[in-house]
Amino acid sequence: MSFRTTPSVDYVEDVSPGSGALPPRAWYASSDARSLSLNGSWRFRLSATAGAEDDSFAEEGYDAGNWAEVTVPGHWVLQGDGAFGSPIYTNHLYPFPVDPPYVPTENPTGDHLRVFDLPSDWPSDGGAVLRFDGVESCARVWLNGTELGEFKGSRLAHEFAVGELLKPGANVLAVRVHQWSAGSYLEDQDQWWLPGIFRDVTLLHRPAGSVADFFVHASYDHTTGEGTLRVDSDVDGRVLVPALDIDVATGEPVTVAVEPWTAETPKLYDGVLATDGERVPLRIGFRTVVLEDGLVKVNGTAVLFKGVNRHEWHPERGRALDLETMREDVLLMKRHNLNAVRTSHYPPHPAFLDLCDEYGLWVIDECDLETHGFTEQDWRDNPVDDDRWTPALLDRAARMVERDKNHPSIVFWSLGNEAGTGRGLTAMAEWIHGRDPERLVHYEGDWNCRDTDVYSRMYAFHDEVEKIGQRLDGGTHKRRDLPFIQCEYAHAMGNGPGGLADYQELFEKYDRLQGGFIWEWIDHGVKHAELGYAYGGDFGEELHDGNFVCDGLVFPDRTPSPGLIEYKKVIEPVRIEGDGANGIVHVTNKQDFADLSALAFEWSCQVDGETVESGSLAVPALAPGESAEVKLPEPPADGRGGERQWTVRALLADDTSWAAKGHVVAWGQFAVGARPLPPFPATDRPVVEEGRITLGPAGFDARTGALLSVGGVEVGATPRLDVWRAPTDNDDGAEWQTDTRYGVLWRTLGLHRMRHRLVSVEAGDDALTVRTRVAPAAREVGLDTVYRWTSDGERLRLSVSVTPEGDWTVPLPRLGVRFGLPEADGVEWFGGGPGEAYPDSRTASMIGRWRSTVDRLQTPYVRPQENGARADVRWVELGGLRIEGDPEFWFTARRWTTEQLDAAQHRTDLAAGDTVWVNLDHGLHGIGSQSCGPGPLPQYFLKAEPVEYSFVFSTTR
């Protein structure tokens, strides 16, 4: 005999999408029907297993007075100071045994209880619907003791009809949420596992005769300039668009002259769908998306996507985002010239899509589906190729399309991410194509493009992308006729990505390449009292993927990282090139739809980085793709004999919804002539006295040749050869990339522990020469290094010549000198700035005179690593010293050593010491994006080769 001691929780492991919910429909906010937000503080009880508690809490009169409380929307693991468990981060590994559809018995289960008063004036006619916008991962719902049903599909809306159950006065809403369910197998996205009711809960009145579902079809014919509008509605009504004099019945098409919607010109027409019971506001954008001539075209024009992958993230609230945070994302994207977003890897909060419509961003809306963990077993038992799961997949597809179908910004429906291939995906694609033939279908996982309208890949290397652009990549017949996008590329983990400009060049060169989406928008760091921001492993997870979750273009607090500044420059909508010597600027409009009338142009002329004259530049309102040559004024007289250059900027001519007048969207710089380098006569002779050598303003240790001081400035540690940098995430590379992970190879070779052998100190007639050999223990490779010091009486010049010995099979991380200063704070330089730059991420580095402080030179990557270099530095002043370079150099200064930076795991591990460590580099190795994609391209390698470079030191005090 057997009997049940626990309530049935079979639904948790049931592959079906759930039961009891209403069919999916368009998501909208009514103008006049009442609604009641049920967000706020809810009673909360956590159990360790799904069936630990019976259902009695859902009954009316249940006393939850001793329960804890959580905020809805929210994730319980991010509330309660650890009392409710912790987040878990895994990339693709399931944090539970792969035993579909079963999940562990240990299944954190949160009972949520909310007693709400129905407003006394809540209308009694019609019905009511209870809407959940997002619950991870499985919920069972009761209202006033009656079970409504249960559902899965975490980032999808679910509604229940509750009209019959509502009562005047107090109503009891009970929701049981299980962290793990069969649905978890379909939600293996690379992100934190965060259970909870993390999006809004709303009660919606549904008056009699109210709108149920509706589908706005608004196309644009670029040959006539007319738009055709037809609003299909389950409930008949009228469609009004006052600005277009439209007043038609639902289901009836009407064609009128309109301004089209594009991401560059997001023209929306306000309208109303009026039925007997309700008025629903419409925001209509007319545009037509087609696949034609092997290209994705909108309104007849091929689009170049300059996009990013956006996960929903807030460092304290996880995926529970408020409207202002969503708006901040959109504003930041627009201000950094992005035109597209992939909602990786699930439909976002619907309000985000409203913002994309309003501000103008092309959207790939992606279904909440990823089964990546099955790759560990060669995709055996993958749910997307198992018919039992197909209803769940179709449910997810329908919930995405039906909810979001009225957004003009969406041009692609994406089936999901990294789910292999299978019949379930094909079924989804077929259903979507049938339901919405006016948009295209995207999915990356099927390189044969059986189900898709675009060939999409992630992290394809530059050379392969070029081949694809040239149509030399072969592939299935279907694929050969399709356009190409990179739905993910340029992994923005830590310092980087490098190589963006090289990708963009390819995208612009080959028509078939329609751009891409950087991985990814934001670092998913969790705010943490001791660590600054936590990442995988910081919560004691037994399986985790470390800081692979921090790979965004913005830091967790949404501060742009240098990668975003670089991307902004690389994708700028106007190309400004010039011939400085002849005073000519070439301006090209690189947009797809808008002319240049929204922009004003300004020229300025700099001498030694300081602007001496500026003015406005008349540039014609070029149509998309057009170029013009514009003459600059006569350059100002060259009174100082300095280095002269032009800077031309394109600015917003007027305020826009996303940035103010004067916001810089693009710029270009071009030299008038070469940098003048005055000669340095070596007039002084080294003088040896009592263990000290004096040369001009400098003192040296006669035995070691170490520089001790220049003028009055003590040098704490002499300039000496330095090749080490704290490896970046991209240097270390992903574990599956075995042969070119230089961060690993450098360490194996011992470049982080180079030894310096003093060969000789020679005080000659006009120079002090110090010869050394620099090499790692246990190896025969080395770098013969000669420091040659000279002086013109006032200043001190150091020439370093380096000759590699042995067989160097790896590039060098850096090559330059490092020294220590006892104190330094303010920094001024003439060179590239204001932000950091590396050989393959230096497009945004602008030549000028910049001021900063040692602290502000640091880029606070969530996991500390090499950062903060300034490019093309002619001279820098700090700590009482002025250092001029011949040639220009890379400059870095920090309050900790490279070794300390290398050892740090979190920002809070870095503590300022007594010395400011300065690196003056002749060369740096490129950055690349090998933490998931390609390493640096060969032209950015810092090869071990004979070189010579020099610096001139003087004092500023």
Question: Distance between alpha carbon 861 and the CA centroid of its chain, in Å?
Answer: 13
> Of 15 and 500, which has the nearer Cβ to ligand GAL?
500
Residue 833 beta carbon to ligand GAL: minimum distance, rounded to whole angstroms = 30
CB 361, min distance to ligand GAL, A: 20
Do residues 523 and 552 touch, judged by C-beta distance below 8 A? yes
- Residue showing the smallest CB distance to ligand GAL in the complex: 190
State which residue, 643 or 732, has the beta carbon closest to ligand GAL.
732
Token pair belonging to 268: 């929306």
Residue written as token pair 């273009």? 553
Q: Give me the DSSP letters along 41-110.
A: EEEEEEEEETTSS-GGGGSTT---TTSEEEEESS-GGGSGGGTT---EEESSS-SS---TT---SEEEEE
Angstrom distance (rounded) from CA 858 to CA 723 = 19
CB nearer to ligand GAL: give 490 or 812: 490
Taking the complex as a whole, how short is the minimal distance between the CB of residue 458 and ligand GAL, in angstroms?
A: 6
Q: Contact between 278 and ligand GAL (CB under 6 A)? A: no
Q: With respect to ligand GAL, which residue has the nearer C-beta, 57 or 519? A: 519
Bridge partners (DSSP) of residue 233 are 214
- The long-range contacts involving 99-102, CB below 8 angstroms and separated by at least 24 positions, are 100/15, 100/182, 100/185, 100/381, 100/383, 101/13, 101/14, 101/15, 101/182, 101/185, 102/13
Give the residue among 818, 808, 825 at the shortest CA–CA distance from 889: 818
- Label the pairing between strands 254-257 and 138-143: unpaired
Q: Among 13, 187, 488, 643, which one carries the catalytic annotation?
A: 488
Q: Which of 71, 90, 91, 867 binds ligand GAL (CB under 6 A)?
A: 91
**Taking each helix axis from N to C terminus, what angle separates 350-359 and 390-404, rounded to the nearest 10 degrees?**
40
Active site residue 488: yes
What sign results for the dihedral spanned by CA atoms 574, 576, 577, 583? positive
Binding mask 519-538 for ligand GAL (x = CB under 6 A): x-------------------
729 contacts ligand GAL (rule: CB under 6 A): no
In the complex, the smallest distance separating the C-beta of residue 734 from ligand GAL, rounded to whole angstroms, is: 8
Is the CB of 551 or the CB of 836 nearer to ligand GAL? 551
Which residue, 207 or 733, has its beta carbon nearer to ligand GAL?
733
Binder of ligand GAL out of 458, 553, 698, 783 (CB under 6 A): 458
Smallest distance from ligand GAL to CB 667, Å: 31
Tokens of 940: 């950015």
Q: Radius of gyration over alpha carbons of the chain, in Å?
A: 31
Q: Pick between residue 548 and residue 891 the one whose CB is nearest to ligand GAL.
A: 548
Count of residues of this chain found to bind ligand GAL when the rule CB under 6 A is applied? 13
Residues of span 55-84 touching ligand GAL by CB under 6 A = none
- Residue 902, both tokens: 């290398």
Instruction: Report the alpha-carbon distance of residue 175 to residue 350 in Å, rounded.
Output: 22
417 scored as a contact of ligand GAL (CB under 6 A): yes
CB of 549 to ligand GAL, least distance (A): 8
The dihedral formed by the CA atoms of 551, 572, 341 and 514, expressed in degrees to the nearest 10: -110
Q: Active-site residue 530, yes or no?
A: no
Residue selected from 136, 159, 187, 190 as contacting ligand GAL according to rule CB under 6 A: 190
Q: How far, rounded to the nearest angstrom, does the alpha carbon of residue 70 sit from its chain's CA centroid?
A: 30
Q: Which of residues 6-65 bind ligand GAL (CB under 6 A)?
A: none
Q: Please list, in sequence order, all residues whose beta carbon lies within 8 angstroms of the beta carbon of residue 1, skipping any fewer than 6 positions away.
A: none
State which of positions 745-804 bind ligand GAL (CB under 6 A).
none
> What is the spatial distance between Cα 843 and Cα 872, in angstroms, rounded to a whole number?
12
* The binder of ligand GAL chosen from 14, 436, 551, 840 (CB under 6 A): 551
Least Å from the CB of residue 882 to ligand GAL: 43
- Determine which residue in the list 174, 723, 932, 942 makes contact with ligand GAL, applying CB under 6 A: 932
DSSP 3-state of 625: coil
Under rule CB under 6 A, which residues in 290-349 are in contact with ligand GAL? 345
Say whether 529 sits in a helix, a strand or coil.
Answer: coil
Q: Which is nearer to ligand GAL, 458 or 767 (CB)?
A: 458
Cα–Cα distance between 830 and 664 in angstroms, integer? 21
Identify the active-site residue in 418, 566, 836, 866.
Answer: 418
* Minimum distance from residue 155 beta carbon to ligand GAL (Å): 14
**What is the footprint of ligand GAL within residues 245-264 (CB under 6 A)?**
none
Closer residue to ligand GAL in complex, CB, 490/901: 490
488 lies in the binding site for ligand GAL (CB under 6 A): yes
Q: Which residues bind ligand GAL (CB under 6 A)?
A: 91, 189-190, 345, 417-418, 458, 488, 491, 519, 548, 551, 932
Active site residues: 418, 488
